Structure 1
């Protein structure tokens, strides 16, 4: 065996290193370490820095400030948290502890529920563990060894016996034996360990910054049939500066929480009597929603879509044909038995979780020719999904919501043009609401072939069509390999809000499943029958969720064209109420939304109230304004103006609304 081997690094870098060199030492030899590197990627797989390389392998650094780097730091911090808990309360059983977006969690089964004071104790012990510089040691074990290591912990035993021994990190590679443990060696000679695939940072001292955030209840494995555990959440970052910035963003997010703003501005509510995840829209919120609906309806008509309306429920046979009862039953509400026959048996009807099968029925209602295509169907369709109680979150994740759903049926030759049209439409929609540039556009390709429907040729054509559409528009995008749905590839569009959070909104997706299941066809110009391509697209995604994102992005200070009240008229005294009413009537007559403040509050109190209500314009009227038929304008943004002719203000306001100006960027 040679004492030297060749390894490959980023770009064209190569290096000869001694046999047995670790990933970390190889990266040093390649000159590939810049900043803090927490792990490595060897031939595409994430590994620990102490992983020994083989001749000819390629190695790349995983920096702490990358998405994968933060993932690894958070996963390592989760282990430190679990060790701290078991150090403080010996014998406490624990479940899984994965990294999640912006943080991590671990599930515990303590004798007494954790308190806020307990979180401080846990965090204090974590600081000690980090200072102790405990190494993360990867060990491959057999099933019997794993069962022995976690004897007495029913959650780990269940995972091992179910063959899911690395369930706390399913995205990372497993060891050759199938089961790996990561062990933290303590200074006193003891150790803490958990089932895990890794990778991890080399030692606990490599964890730069973290904090614990909250504790909540969580059913084991997400099933309400299982025991309720205590889930402790935390966050970890590549530096104290990054942690501080995130915590500031979290504080801003709390202030902007759409549920809080919704209460403050009287937009919507979630009455307990109605049920979890179901909203009622108050007049203020309904006005904003109607503006959103009117906008999208006008746009789909302008772009050649045809409107449809479909029911809220459908027979079980529809959902059997579509496949939803096979692959989506857990997300559907239970059936309603109706139309009993003589033997007492009835037909099951389900509230619809998706609009797609109904649009398919519209297409299938008559024989279609190539001359009918593309056929673009559009609906603001309300759907119902039984989200688990722990995942429901205001309008962002509701059980009843409305989608701006459209389905396009077209030929193979038309797919590129239709995908491009959908993408251009999506960009126009986002711009109209103040999101000028998407922060991320992702093309998701075919998952593992065995898990998908459709032909190889169909998938290749669809992926190429989406790629070509993006390139024709000149958009930068990333490819998320294998992240498509089982029924087709897709494009997802993200935007970043005023405080830096990313939101996935618009989706364009090709479906091979429903055309096949419903045996859709069209007659070609040669008289043959062909299967149409089916393109899903939802540009708001969910109207409700989009509304929630807008509410938080603008912190309730909606652009004038969306604002529930666009102008409030404030008379200086009761003597000026008559002219204030004239101003109100005149503006409303031009299609604007104005109201008069007739309260007996002081002028200062009125102004503060309407500032808090985020009204775009306050119009102050007194003796002089009534005599001259003018208004004194106090705008939400910009300078105050006096003596503005009412006609001029009305024209300015109408132009601002017509152009859908979004005004200054939200703060």
Structure 2
């Protein structure tokens, strides 16, 4: 019998008969490892546990309780769900069912409408399939056999997918009476799925194309243990309470109208919050040496050909015709900012030039992808473009990283960093890409930031650093980005006059910190659950007169606070004081000032905190000094998160 050598992660080498499976190797190391082994990594590729090893390889074992197994577990759970749906409903056709970040989904075409009751029935059928502990087997069939099998099973979506594959051998997974087109890997059997739950149903177009038929998408999640599942469900319940769409309505911050789907309407209180964010942004950028610009929303088609957006982004752009010529509504601010730089000649002595723009952009998003402020069709990017000398790159990148930290720290965010490299569709040669990627990596490391590399996810014109914020319930959001660009300066023939009197090419740094102001506001709403720190709260103080007799005094207190630019309202409704206090707490107003006859007589206020309750009586001047200090220092009460 031919032998093969298997090199394990600790460097040890073991010899086995050719054809020995990953599972066999795991058992040879230990019975516990054998029982827990659900897949393996052979020479860098994930494979099933029953994958036969036919040559010398490097192998690591994936166990059911590992992070690496989670995606495999969820992918298998999606197949279990599809099998359950096929068992329960006639004439159902399955489409696509991947694992996703927090779980899995599968799209179905069936006559019946799936609802909450249906999900309970599907879960029960899934549990039966899991209890049956059905073996999951991968088979690789010739293309014509795979097509014949799917034709026999009347799986039109699978047939369409196979037609697009160039492979002559097609990977299929057999699970009892269920067969699916899939590359895998999967768990050894359905019995390995222990903790799962179906979450909700949504509509989804086949292949994400609104011209195709609408399918029913069932979302679910799965974990290695019931404890992890329960923890996730609790987090989702907390997320529902914090949903920015719900709180945005309750706090009267913004709305999405049928007349403008995907185009947010900001109400007065939402604008108060937004303006605080913008003012803070502007002041920090002024300190960091940026100058602010503003560029048009609509620009000629030729500009977008020159920038490369036409080739790489036109499907997401809006167009209009002016004077018989095609113009585009800008999806990005970069080309307009470049035209500002090009409008005059620059000397090396001027560089770096830092231009910042709060630019309104429009992008065509599918209606099914729209989600409150998180996914919209028009939003304001806090863009900036830095034009610098090659030897200024790392210093400028460090400056941006420090500015990012200052802004995020003001909201109490932790964050992690991701370095994204050259994508498959990209402009420019490999040497420039390598140079740009190395510069970003050096800047991150010099600032002592931990980071992960995301291969192939850079912008089409350059590599980038992405900043992922972690909110108060542990979710992460990609917001800030820094992109180093050698391509746009070439395409737009940007130059500066060097020490030698000759023209040279500047390096361009694209960067955003909030990312999208709209989305950042949505994140803040959910991060703080609407209980914003006093400095950005839309209403910072609510004055509550005990009776109509104190309304004049309440207005006098309001005037005194308003003169200090404190955002204050008077609740003059004919309601009980207790009702008004509860209402102010629901609206998450940081401070309530109760004013009755005694307070008016003594020129004091009775202070209530939205969380701590009654803080006692205070002179108005003392309260004013306290809240002004809280606003000035941008204090955050971590206990409220």
* TM-score of the aligned structures, taking structure 2 as reference length: 0.96
Work out which of the residue numbers 310, 330, 341 in structure 2 matches 1:352. Answer: 330
* Contact preservation (8 Å) 1:453, 1:512: no
- Secondary structure of 2:237's partner? helix
Deviations 1:235-256 (A, max 9, x none): 1111111111111111111111
- Cα separation, 2, equivalents of 1:86 and 1:298: 59
- Cα separation, 1, equivalents of 2:456 and 2:67: 18
- Cα separation, 2, equivalents of 1:507 and 1:255: 29
1:407-426 equivalences in 2 (<5 Å): 407-426=385-404
Partner in structure 2 of residue 302 of structure 1: 287
> How many residues end up aligned between the 2 structures?
638
Q: Does 1:160 align with 2:162?
A: yes
- Secondary structure of 2:179's partner? strand
Structure 1 residue 115: Cα displacement: 3.4
Structure 1 residue 323: Cα displacement: 1.6
* Contact preservation (8 Å) 2:28, 2:34: no
1:317-466 equivalences in 2 (<5 Å): 317-333=302-318, 335-339=319-323, 346-435=324-413, 437-438=414-415, 440-448=416-424, 451-466=425-440
Q: Does 1:244 align with 2:230?
A: yes
Q: Does 1:662 align with 2:636?
A: yes
Partner in structure 2 of residue 265 of structure 1: 251
* Contact preservation (8 Å) 1:207, 1:238: yes
Q: Does 1:541 align with 2:519?
A: no
Change beyond 3 A, Cα 1:126–1:164: farther
Structure 1 residue 261: Cα displacement: 0.3
Moved more, 73-82 or 452-461: 452-461
Structure 1 residue 10: Cα displacement: 2.0
Deviations 1:611-648 (A, max 9, x none): 11111001112233223322221112336332322111
- Secondary structure of 2:534's partner? coil
Moved more, 606-615 or 484-493: 484-493
- Cα separation, 2, equivalents of 1:297 and 1:120: 52
- Secondary structure of 2:523's partner? helix
Deviations 1:473-506 (A, max 9, x none): 1111122233323321111111221222111111
* Contact preservation (8 Å) 1:637, 1:664: no
- Secondary structure of 1:370's partner? coil
Moved more, 501-510 or 558-567: 501-510
Partner in structure 2 of residue 315 of structure 1: 300
Partner in structure 2 of residue 477 of structure 1: 451
- Cα separation, 1, equivalents of 2:35 and 2:248: 44
Partner in structure 2 of residue 129 of structure 1: 129
Partner in structure 1 of residue 277 of structure 2: 292
- Cα separation, 2, equivalents of 1:89 and 1:16: 49
Q: Which runs of 5+ in 2 are unaligned?
A: none
- Cα separation, 1, equivalents of 2:175 and 2:311: 43
- Secondary structure of 2:368's partner? coil
Moved more, 505-514 or 282-291: 505-514
Partner in structure 2 of residue 94 of structure 1: 94
- Cα separation, 2, equivalents of 1:565 and 1:101: 36
- Cα separation, 2, equivalents of 1:625 and 1:549: 39
Deviations 1:288-347 (A, max 9, x none): 0000000101111110111100111111111111121211111112x21121xxxxxx11
Structure 1 residue 515: Cα displacement: 1.9
Structure 1 residue 423: Cα displacement: 1.1
* Contact preservation (8 Å) 2:436, 2:485: no
Structure 1 residue 454: Cα displacement: 2.4
1:614-653 equivalences in 2 (<5 Å): 614-638=588-612, 640-653=614-627
Moved more, 589-598 or 23-32: 23-32
Q: Does 1:235 align with 2:221?
A: yes
- Cα separation, 1, equivalents of 2:637 and 2:223: 34
Partner in structure 1 of residue 14 of structure 2: 15
- Cα separation, 1, equivalents of 2:63 and 2:361: 42
* Contact preservation (8 Å) 1:216, 1:232: yes
Partner in structure 1 of residue 170 of structure 2: 179
Deviations 1:63-119 (A, max 9, x none): 445443211111111111111121222442211111112111112111333333332
* Contact preservation (8 Å) 1:406, 1:538: yes
Moved more, 303-312 or 150-159: 150-159
- Cα separation, 2, equivalents of 1:626 and 1:233: 58
Deviations 1:166-199 (A, max 9, x none): xxxxxxxxxxx552001113xxxxx311110000
Structure 1 residue 257: Cα displacement: 0.9
- Cα separation, 2, equivalents of 1:657 and 1:34: 59
Change beyond 3 A, Cα 1:388–1:239: same
The structure with the greater share of residues assigned to strand is: 2
Structure 1 residue 524: Cα displacement: 2.4
Partner in structure 1 of residue 566 of structure 2: 592
* TM-score of the aligned structures, taking structure 1 as reference length: 0.92
- Cα separation, 1, equivalents of 2:331 and 2:267: 24
Deviations 1:541-570 (A, max 9, x none): 100000000001111111000011111111
* Contact preservation (8 Å) 1:17, 1:29: no
- Cα separation, 1, equivalents of 2:309 and 2:38: 43
* Contact preservation (8 Å) 1:617, 1:635: yes
- Cα separation, 1, equivalents of 2:403 and 2:35: 41
- Cα separation, 2, equivalents of 1:239 and 1:265: 38
Partner in structure 2 of residue 194 of structure 1: 180
Change beyond 3 A, Cα 1:537–1:362: same
Deviations 1:337-369 (A, max 9, x none): 121xxxxxx111121111011011111112222
Q: Does 1:68 align with 2:73?
A: no
Partner in structure 1 of residue 193 of structure 2: 207
- Cα separation, 2, equivalents of 1:582 and 1:36: 71
CA RMSD of superposed structures (Å): 1.9
* Contact preservation (8 Å) 2:23, 2:34: no
